[in-house]
Structure 1
């Protein structure tokens, strides 16, 4: 076991050395990459002093973080003294978790060096660790197992593409998965793939998707109403939202919008890029088309958005939702929803949220990764 950890550390260090020029550049140039370095590299999480039970939830990024509210709310209702910790890997995931869960501890997940994961587990002393969807790190799982801390996967998923890759490493992945207390998956197909990797079915349960648990169906909810005001949407206008988009899907949406508006002049368009890093890029794209724009980030809550008139175009302003964690409510504005990632190799994003409002859905040909 110790030799295995040392070998993993060696591999990680070699990979880190190869990537060090890029990492160093990003750390020096981009502030977000400097966030949480002590937590990531050394497991320097805030030490938990309480002896109450504690569940540690790990959600990689924004999408996984946003799956947690209904589950955590129900846990706290049933077990008021239970302490909850949410870790994440990305800067955007961390920001959304801090906003959504101010009453819980939020931290960065340690990198999979044995010293970092052991220190993190020692400082938190969790009763159980729950990994959202599928985020498996060998040293972390081994360290938790040695410490007698059960680790489980919740809302698990395993795409056909990922399964083919893991199957080639079954000699490594299988024993790791067999150290888990529970693998709770979304569908029978996912359960079958996990069973083929582990060679056993006793710890695999089909529980459905927790994405369904927090679905919003009321278009009159306060945040949706606030966004309607900010984007200056008028009664009788038809709203097309292109959400969770990746390049070049925003450009495709703009081209379609301009073509369709010739027949349906009361059509409005709201763009919601998936990644925060692309907000400015998409704003510049709208500018290149000479279209007026309303950016959500530049508006105060409750106030109508101010239009940035790039030209004297008579076209109504394009909306740009350039904030984190509001897409779920923004879908409530849509009469028509295009779900991003489905025109690219990403394989699609969450179409359940717009469907909950009864919105007409449009998807590209790639929906295998949802």
Structure 2
């Protein structure tokens, strides 16, 4: 099986390596990114790795990296003598990881060639590897097992979309699942699914979702005033923040914004594309509606504050929570188009009402809890989104109640980090 897999990887690499080279050139990191993915580290990186007791946490992209933050904090507190290495696949995930104080070192995840993975393990020598959500790379998993390195799946999930694919490959997947020391799953459904795929029941636990364990933000009036000043946002102007948007959603949102402005409503739209490099593309859509926009990266203290009818486009990373904090209403993208949705709890973390589309299969349980708690509203179309935006902007009391309901929901569902850490500690201690 592994010989066949490696042969297929060689064929795929004929496309994969040029792709990452082009992506890297776009971000100005081509040589470094490719080197790290091939397990070739600089002398400075090798020096850092030597002699360290390392926990290796792999989070493929932005969502997984943010989800892992509560666990990273607890690992750091409980095992201060260890260093935390985080690897990512995407450039955006890598950028977010580098900005976390709990992370000691960041690398790009290696290509899953057996010889590359072997070289990386020889250089990193981790005491434990934690994979966030569901990233099962055959050579990586096998090599960890051969080296007797505990391998734990944390915040594990199997979505409605991915589960049928995994079931199809169950005979090939079962030997890989036997290499894992433990599976800490987000929900009972996820726990049952991983067991049905071949994971030993004694190694599977429903530990809950780490996303509920993010620290509840308590922002003072001075904090909010500072943020408004930083983003040049005026007081007493309703703000709609659309976070983690994808192609197809921005056009709908900007058209809705034009409709609201034509109704003589006073408000400001902030758009945070999931991939910041798309901001120029979004800016074209804004221009088509004859709406003035500014990029976050171009803001300065001497500029005038935004006015109703303008758009702030966020072309930087790591500012989602800041902007949710100053929002009156939040829409979470990746949900009006069939992407699967993004973290719906971040708005609730800051006591904000949240709207999302029907494509939230990656956050099905969370979306259902938000709806039941009265903290979020699901819309099935751009027309329904417009109706809900109007209703909520006309009812600030309901907005505040939804925000408080979301915050209460988070408080009621904490504990996943503690349960996950308890499971991990068994293999460390």
The answer as to 2:262 corresponding to 1:259 is no
Q: State which drifts further: 37-46 or 336-345.
A: 37-46
CA contact (8 A) 2:237 2:308 kept: no
Q: State which drifts further: 354-363 or 15-24.
A: 15-24
CA contact (8 A) 1:292 1:315 kept: no
- Gapped regions of structure 1 (runs ≥ 5): 309-313
SS in 2 for 1:81: coil
Q: What is the deviation of 1:204?
A: 0.9
Structure 2 partner of 1:343: 336
Q: What is the deviation of 1:9?
A: 1.8
SS in 2 for 1:121: helix
- Which whole-Å CA distance do the structure 2 matches of 1:35 and 1:252 have between them? 38
Can you list the C-alpha shifts for 1:122-153, whole angstroms capped at 9, x where unaligned?
10110000001111100001111101111111
SS in 2 for 1:35: helix
Count of paired positions: 359
Q: What is the deviation of 1:217?
A: 3.2
- Which whole-Å CA distance do the structure 1 matches of 2:135 and 2:285 have between them? 34
Structure 2 partner of 1:232: 232
Structure 2 partner of 1:49: 50
| Of 7, 10, 30, the match for 2:7 | 10
Pair 1:294–1:32, CA change in 2 (3 A): same
Structure 1 partner of 2:133: 133
CA contact (8 A) 1:69 1:214 kept: yes
Structure 2 partner of 1:242: 242
Structure 1 segment 78-117 matched on structure 2, within 5 A: 78-101=78-101, 104-117=104-117
The answer as to 2:282 corresponding to 1:282 is yes
Structure 1 segment 7-86 matched on structure 2, within 5 A: 7-18=4-15, 22=19, 26=23, 31-44=28-41, 46-47=45-46, 48-50=49-51, 53-86=53-86
The RMSD of aligned alpha carbons is: 2.4
Structure 1 partner of 2:319: 326
Can you list the C-alpha shifts for 1:169-209, whole angstroms capped at 9, x where unaligned?
00011221121011101111111111110153111111111
Q: Provide the TM-score with structure 2 as the length reference.
A: 0.77
- Gapped regions of structure 2 (runs ≥ 5): 364-429
Pair 1:55–1:10, CA change in 2 (3 A): same
CA contact (8 A) 1:272 1:320 kept: yes
Q: What is the deviation of 1:342?
A: 0.8
SS in 2 for 1:366: coil
Q: What is the deviation of 1:36?
A: 1.9
Q: What is the deviation of 1:318?
A: 0.9
CA contact (8 A) 1:85 1:104 kept: yes
Q: What is the deviation of 1:260?
A: 2.1
CA contact (8 A) 1:62 1:325 kept: no
Structure 1 partner of 2:182: 182
Q: What is the deviation of 1:23?
A: 5.4
- Structure with bigger helix share is 2
Q: Provide the TM-score with structure 1 as the length reference.
A: 0.89
Pair 1:262–1:342, CA change in 2 (3 A): same
Pair 1:282–1:111, CA change in 2 (3 A): same
Can you list the C-alpha shifts for 1:316-349, whole angstroms capped at 9, x where unaligned?
3211122111112211112111110111110211
